[in-house]
């Protein structure tokens, strides 16, 4: 298996609320909710960099499709990271997320590796790290 991830799906309780957070609050582009004509089909996609896509799908639909029972998750099961080019960008992204309705989990602060980072949770509790790491700056 090649180490290729093309889609990350976040299970959400309220699809419309989640779309508003990512589209309106964070400014991410989407065509909105598609697939509503199918039972368990409503989903929203967001194009990210490098061909990666983020999908928001109702938790009940993901449980149905996978055959696993729906269960609440833990915010510390996994974390998505958004790396930025400067310390100031960390503060700006964290402020944007907070004004969009995110819960601040950990305010930005200096890190043990010489960077600067903070954490927020989206309206469904998914954990995001916003980090400036001088050794791993993202491409322009």
| pLDDT computed for residue 4 by the predictor | 87
Structural domain tally of the chain?
2
Q: Cβ neighbours of residue 70 under 8 Å, at least 6 residues apart?
A: 59, 60, 62, 63
Q: Is residue 14 part of a domain?
A: yes
| 89-116 tens-digit pLDDT | 999 999 999 999 999 999 999 999 999 9
Residue 101 falls inside a structural domain: yes
Task: Tell me how far apart the 2 most distant CA atoms of the chain are, in Å.
Answer: 50
139 domain residue, yes or no: no
What's the predicted TM-score (pTM) here?
A: 0.91
pLDDT score, position 18: 98
Instruction: Read off the CATH number of the domain in which 25 is found.
Output: 3.10.180.10
pLDDT tens-digit series, residues 5-56 = 999 999 999 999 999 999 999 999 999 999 999 999 999 999 999 899 999 9
Instruction: Quote the domain boundaries for residue 118.
Output: 79-132
């Amino acid at each position: 298996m090649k180490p290729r991830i093309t889609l990350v799906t976040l299970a959400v309780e309220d699809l419309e609320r989640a779309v508003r957070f990512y589209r309106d609050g964070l400014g991410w582009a989407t065509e909105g909710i598609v697939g509503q004509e199918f039972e368990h089909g409503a989903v929203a996609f967001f194009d990210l960099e490098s061909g990666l896509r983020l999908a928001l799908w109702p938790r009940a639909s993901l449980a149905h499709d996978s055959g696993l029972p729906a269960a609440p998750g833990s915010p510390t099961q996994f974390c998505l990271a958004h790396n930025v080019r400067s310390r100031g960008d960390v503060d700006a992204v964290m402020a944007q997320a907070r004004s969009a309705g995110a819960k601040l989990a950990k305010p930005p602060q200096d890190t043990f590796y010489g960077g600067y980072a903070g954490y927020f949770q989206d309206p469904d509790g998914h954990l995001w790290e916003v980090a400036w790491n001088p050794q791993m700056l993202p491409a322009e």
